[in-house]
Amino acid sequence: DRDLMPSLRGKPLTAISSAEISDILEEIAERSPSASRKAYNALSAVFGYAARKERSIFKTHQSPLREVDSPSVLPPRQRILSDGELRLIWSSAGDLGWPFCEIVRLLIATGQRLREVAHAPWTEFDLPHSSWTIPGTRTKNKLPMLVHLNEPARSIIKNLPRVMNDGDFLFSTTGKTAVSGFSRAKRRLDALML
């Protein structure tokens, strides 16, 4: 929606050129090399699907991606936040209010991924045994994970309001789905930290 649709919305696939795609990917890469790679992968999926499903209209050899260099795969990130940075984030999160304050602090206390925390249902937690069992359906590597809950994590979870919602999520602002709006919350957190 952000990177491809503004330029390509409503265009027939056969009218999209390799030069146009290269320009779009270069522009995206200036902001984020990983976003450029994701955009390339999305285009690859669209053109591949078209070539498989609409062979009479769109031939594989017509794909403009054949002439576009694939953005390079970035090495895994190696950066680790310092204790001072973590203290600043923890402190600044206090001004975010519910539910983002609690989400940010639970991310720090558990070391888990954003959606593992933000989309967690109450049923995954065993507070008397200080444990959180994340099923493989919700982990990146598709394997179940047992997370020990330290005292800060237990305290955050114990003090959460129990919001009735369809998925029994720890965090829900709609009563129907898990919380969303992370980009806006991240921008607010960045501003608070400055």
Element (H, E) at 133: strand 131-134
- Burial level of 102, CB count in 10 A (0-12/13-18/19+)? buried
| Structure letter (DSSP) for residue 61 | G
The Cα-based distances of 29 to 7, 75, 77 in angstroms read 15, 15, 17
Yes or no: say if 167 and 124 are a contact pair by the CB < 8 Å rule.
no
Name the token pair of 134. Answer: 């994340």
Q: Would you state the structure tokens that stand for residue 71, as one six-digit string?
A: 């953005």
Nearest-angstrom CA–CA distance, 92 and 193: 6
Tell whether the model's pLDDT for residue 56 goes beyond 80.
no
Alpha helices in the chain (DSSP H): 5-8, 18-31, 33-53, 83-93, 100-110, 114-118, 151-158, 182-193
Model confidence at 162, pLDDT cuts 50, 70, 90, reads confident
pLDDT of residue 60: 65
pTM summary value: 0.64
What's the confidence (pLDDT) of residue 74? 66
* Residue 47: both structure tokens together: 């053109």
What is the tens place of the pLDDT at every residue in 72-99?
776 777 788 999 999 999 999 999 999 9
Backbone angles phi, psi at 164, to 5 degrees: -70, 125
pLDDT digit string (tens) for 15-52? 888 999 999 999 988 888 888 999 999 999 988 888 88
pLDDT score, position 51:
83
3-state secondary structure of 148: strand
Q: What is the pLDDT of residues 108-139, one digit of tens each?
A: 999 999 999 999 999 999 999 999 999 999 99
User: Which amino acid is residue 182, in one-letter code?
Assistant: F
Classify residue 123 as left (phi > 0), alpha (psi -120 to 50) or beta: alpha
